[in-house]
Amino acid sequence: MKKTTSFAMFFGAIYFLSATLALGQPAATASLLLPIDALEAALFTKPRVDSAERAARAFADLERKAWSKARAQARSLEKNARYADYGYWIQGQAALREGEQRLSGGVAKAAEVLRLADDARRLFRQVEFSNPYSPLIKNLQKDIGLADILAGRAQLLLAKWPAALRGFELGFQRLGSAALSELPAEVVGGYGSACQKTVSNLCRPWSFRLSSAFVKGTEEAKVLNKFFPDLANRSRPPGYDVKTRAYRAPDLDLAAFNAAMDSYWSRDYGKTVEAFQKFLDEFPKSVYRFRARYWLAQALKNDGDVERAQVVLSNLQIDSPLTYYGLLASHESGIGLERGIGVTLPLGSVSDAQLLPLEQVRLQRAEELLRVGGGALAVLELRDLNPRGALSAPFLAYLLMLNHRAGNHLGAFRIINDLLARGYEGLPSSYVLKVIFPTPFMELVEKYSREQDLDPLLVISLIKQESSFGWDAVSGSGALGLMQLMPATAFETMPGVGRLELQKAEANMKVGTRYLKQLMNRFKGNIILSLAGYNAGPNAVDRWLKQIPADRSATEMVESIPYRETREYVAAIIRNHYWYSKRTGAPVRGLEYFWNTTTVKKTED
């Protein structure tokens, strides 16, 4: 059986790729370098692909909950070599979502729900066999797991307890630990009810696993404790911390930078100048190079060499207008950063010889979907097409445009960071500014900023940094949504808010702005400290303030933040605020706007 499956998938892959190349010219055949806006215009002058258009329409019907229309449109794709995977997947999603909706019909609808769950599982399993290149394969286990759970809930309505338990437990296993925390209270309660009706040796271990997925006090946790009351008194076994004995030395450039900063804090400015100049000579491409140039200029000024300091700052501003340190240089010179933004747009290329077969297929489908307004499906094709060293900068510039048009902001930001690190010529431009600082959800930002008396440009600058505008983003640590709220923090801020609500843009923003306002009140309006508290926690900021001299300036305070992630986070939001002010025509704020100097003393007291 395994050999048959492998051969079927192999020949399916060959057939799919052959059909793809036959039905349209692959992107890798072109190599002409053109301005990125010209490539964008050329993309939309190409003929529309009928199968891509049908896939986009079917998905739009799915999102509108027009289940029958979505299924009919998607069914027409089953025999299409290019988009059969979308045909099966959209039909499966329609069956799954309609089944969840029909659960409210009770026992009378249970048999129909069970049929829809079976249909969903069958259709999802067809996706991989129809197209082994499909980006939909990545989440198939989760999709099938949700269909298993749907079947379990239908069996529960029919009072078939063992079958209900099997459906729930198969689904839980397929979802995995991360997705368990996304389960609604109704599913948790259904499983608890099934466990009370029949004997299963898995009920107890699954209840333990579910309890670790939900924050105490949430609706899901309350429902779980209702059916498994012993969970509240469950004692955790002692853990054993097995630590590695292997230690890695810090990066040489970081060690050299820190040594130079130690000299600066000691006010030995002559030694600081020498240390930073040596750093820049030895590590010209270090990720800390712009940071080092800024502090070299500060040391030069403090050492009396103002003229040379101005030259360093002027060059820094020109070379890195999109960085925080370029912004600091601009504040000191009084010359706007627009001076470093070029009129000429970066050049791009639609081809790259280093593209893998899978990347080639997905790139072409993304182009076809974008031409027919299927941006949401294009994001699925593009999300794993990440920058890597083998891919040329001109091709990455083209990929940047595709991600921007699809609304995949996180993908666009990753590519920009890669191109910035390469020093790609023409990147600082009006086009790229639009890509780096988009304004989605602006109406919601303004609404909830007004409610909390917050600066809306501060809020959108924070959202850009937190989630790259991914309303459904989930971090590795479990932070959720646009403003990346930890469930426990969200529940403390707004008791009763559910995890699923936090993955909806409006609810997330309502809670997130309220939490930011609480931090602003705690730190007496000091934005730098509030942002640091948002990222690292307010208690960590209180500890830092006891260790950092109170007479340090705003820039010195940011530089003194001991956590690299938090330091770069605060700096990036200040940078974001500048460019969003420019984009929206709002007044540009100086650093004093972010730094209330009375806060440090009051917090220390």
466 is catalytic: yes
- Asked whether the beta carbons of 94 and 74 are under 8 A apart, the reply is yes
Taking Cα atoms as reference points, which of 546, 543, 517, 545 lies closest to residue 531? 517
Structural tokens at position 283 = 């590590």
Measured CA to CA, the distance from residue 169 to residue 183 in angstroms comes to 13
Phi, psi of 238, rounded to the nearest 5 degrees: -65, 140
**End-to-end CA separation in angstroms for the chain:** 73
Structural tokens at position 115 = 């049929």
Residue 129, classified by CB atoms within 10 Å of its CB into exposed (0-12), middle (13-18) or buried (19+), is: middle
The single residue of 98, 466, 501, 559 carrying the catalytic annotation is: 466
Measured CA to CA, the distance from residue 428 to residue 414 in angstroms comes to 15
Please spell the DSSP secondary structure of 230-265, one letter per residue: GGGGPPPPPP---------PPPHHHHHHHHHHHHHH
Please spell the DSSP secondary structure of 113-181, one letter per residue: HHHHHHHHHHHHHHHHHH-TT-GGGGGHHHHHHHHHHHHHHHHHHTT-HHHHHHHHHHHHHHHHHHHHT
> What sections of 36-135 are H helices per DSSP?
36-43, 50-63, 67-75, 84-102, 107-130
Q: Specify which residues 342 forms β-bridges with.
A: 429
Measured CA to CA, the distance from residue 337 to residue 447 in angstroms comes to 30
Residue positions annotated with a catalytic role? 466
